[in-house]
């Protein structure tokens, strides 16, 4: 009886039985809506290209990104090297192509870490309230009282420079706004009738949070994570540029700009192209995030 009615409640919540078919259909609907709008369509296309480039990097890169060719240093963009070569004669286009792998690694790890942490902290704090909520929100307050780059810098200084530590540091600074958002959403659902109903039917707190609250918070958390990725890309590049993130000779875009800086006044292509790549990806995440918000979260439109 209980199981049956919970099932019915599930059905009522999602509108239909959440079979794989309807999930897929919903996904396609969202993608279609994103592509229907030129700006979010642009974002989606750029990020898809980024993803594909990272996967097939060795196939499309014209040169080996690490091969040093001292006879061919600082070549301006031309037919042989579309984006020119750097101070060691390495092909800049190939390095940017391989750099997509590093950017994608950073984005994937950070979002896999911060999304769930933010969601769990936010929903539990909002649902249970009391001292647990107070402590959690004080902690997020402390993190939020810093600009993200400065806090990441401090963590990297503490942990040591390098790509792994940069990822950890960025993750540490990215979850608090997500937790805040999930908590605010939870507070609006907490008093809803269907939550009281499932509590009266004897559902445990864990079940209510996982089955009833988290799915409701998911769309706005997803939007928030996507928008955060724009900042994450910029922070990672900033750390790389300051010499605290990915270290040369890794083809990380920020680190490429840092080494190119010495030669930039006469060789603009050393900094212009990697920076353009950062701008493009960050822009794409901003546009995609805005588009997702319109598609998933109509009430914020």
Partner 1 sequence: MNNERLTAFARQTGTILATLVGLLILTFCIGRLMPVDPVRAIVGEEADQATYDMVAERIGANLPLHEQFFRYVNDLLHGDFGTSIRTGQPVINDILHVMPATIELATFAIIVGAGLGIPLGILAAVRRNRPIDHVIRFMTLIGHSMPIFWTGMIGLIVFYAVLDLVGGGGRISDYYIGLVPDTTGFLLIDSMLAGDWEVFWDAVNHLLLPASILGYSSMAYITRMTRSFMLDQLNQEYITTARVKGLSKGRTIWHHAFANIRVQLVTIVALAYGSLLEGAVLIETVFSWPGFGQYITNNMLIGDMNAVMTCVLLVGIIFIALNLLSDALYKIFDPRTR
User: Site residues (CB under 8 A) for partner 1?
Assistant: 138-139, 141-142, 145-151, 153-160, 230, 234, 237-238, 241-244, 254, 257, 261, 264-266, 268, 271-272, 274-275, 278-279, 282-283, 286-287
Q: How far is the CB of 134 from partner 1 (least distance, A)?
A: 8
DSSP per-residue string spanning 215-280: HHHHHHHHHHHHHHHHHHHHHHHHHHHHTSSSPTTS--HHHHHHHHGGGTTT-THHHHHHHHHHHH
Q: How far is the CB of 272 from partner 1 (least distance, A)?
A: 7
| Residue 180 C-alpha from the chain's centroid | 17
**Nearer of residues 6 and 161 to partner 1, judged by Cβ:** 161
Q: Which residues pair with 91 in a beta bridge?
A: 85
**Nearer of residues 57 and 159 to partner 1, judged by Cβ:** 159
**Nearer of residues 168 and 203 to partner 1, judged by Cβ:** 168
Q: How far is the CB of 20 from partner 1 (least distance, A)?
A: 35
**Nearer of residues 221 and 237 to partner 1, judged by Cβ:** 237
Q: How far is the CB of 264 from partner 1 (least distance, A)?
A: 6
Q: Distances from the Cα of 104 to the Cαs of 54, 56, 155, 255, 278, in angstroms?
A: 7, 13, 21, 16, 12
Q: How far is the CB of 297 from partner 1 (least distance, A)?
A: 16
Tokens representing residue 266 in the block: 């006469």
Q: Distances from the Cα of 197 to the Cαs of 128, 181, 204, 218, in angstroms?
A: 17, 25, 12, 21
- Alpha helix (H) ranges present in the chain? 2-14, 20-36, 38-55, 57-60, 92-128, 130-144, 148-159, 163-190, 193-200, 205-207, 214-242, 253-260, 269-296
Q: How far is the CB of 234 from partner 1 (least distance, A)?
A: 5
**Nearer of residues 75 and 212 to partner 1, judged by Cβ:** 75
d(CA 179, CA 175): 6
d(CA 270, CA 276): 11
Q: How far is the CB of 24 from partner 1 (least distance, A)?
A: 31
d(CA 54, CA 99): 8
**Nearer of residues 54 and 271 to partner 1, judged by Cβ:** 271
**Nearer of residues 209 and 233 to partner 1, judged by Cβ:** 233
- Cβ atoms of 57 and 98 closer than 8 Å: yes
Q: How far is the CB of 299 from partner 1 (least distance, A)?
A: 15
**Nearer of residues 12 and 265 to partner 1, judged by Cβ:** 265
């Amino acid at each position: 009886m209980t199981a049956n009615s919970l099932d019915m409640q599930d059905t009522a919540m999602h509108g239909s039985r959440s079979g794989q078919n309807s999930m897929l259909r919903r996904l396609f609907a969202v993608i279609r809506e994103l592509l229907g709008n030129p700006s979010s369509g642009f974002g989606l296309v750029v990020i898809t290209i980024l993803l594909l480039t990272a996967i097939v990097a060795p196939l499309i890169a014209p040169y080996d990104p690490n091969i040093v060719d001292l006879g061919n240093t600082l070549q301006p963009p031309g037919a042989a090297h579309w984006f020119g070569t750097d101070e060691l004669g390495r092909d800049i286009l190939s390095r940017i192509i391989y750099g997509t792998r590093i950017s994608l690694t950073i984005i994937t790890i950070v979002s896999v870490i911060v999304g769930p942490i933010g969601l769990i902290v936010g929903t539990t704090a909002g649902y249970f309230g009391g001292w647990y909520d107070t402590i959690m929100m004080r902690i997020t307050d402390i993190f939020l009282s810093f600009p993200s780059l400065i806090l990441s810098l401090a963590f990297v200084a503490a942990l040591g420079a390098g790509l792994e530590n940069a990822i950890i540091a960025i993750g540490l600074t990215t979850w608090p706004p997500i937790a805040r958002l999930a908590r605010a959403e939870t507070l609006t659902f907490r008093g809803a009738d269907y939550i009281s109903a499932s509590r009266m039917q004897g559902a445990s707190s864990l079940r209510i949070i996982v089955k009833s609250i988290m799915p409701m918070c998911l769309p706005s958390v997803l939007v928030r994570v996507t928008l955060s990725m724009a900042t994450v890309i910029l922070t990672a590049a900033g750390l790389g540029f300051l010499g605290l993130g990915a270290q040369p000779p890794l083809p990380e875009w920020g680190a490429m700009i840092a080494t190119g800086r010495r030669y930039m006044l006469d060789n603009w292509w050393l900094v212009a192209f990697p920076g353009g790549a950062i701008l493009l990806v960050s822009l794409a995440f901003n546009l995609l995030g805005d588009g997702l918000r319109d598609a998933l979260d109509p009430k914020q439109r």
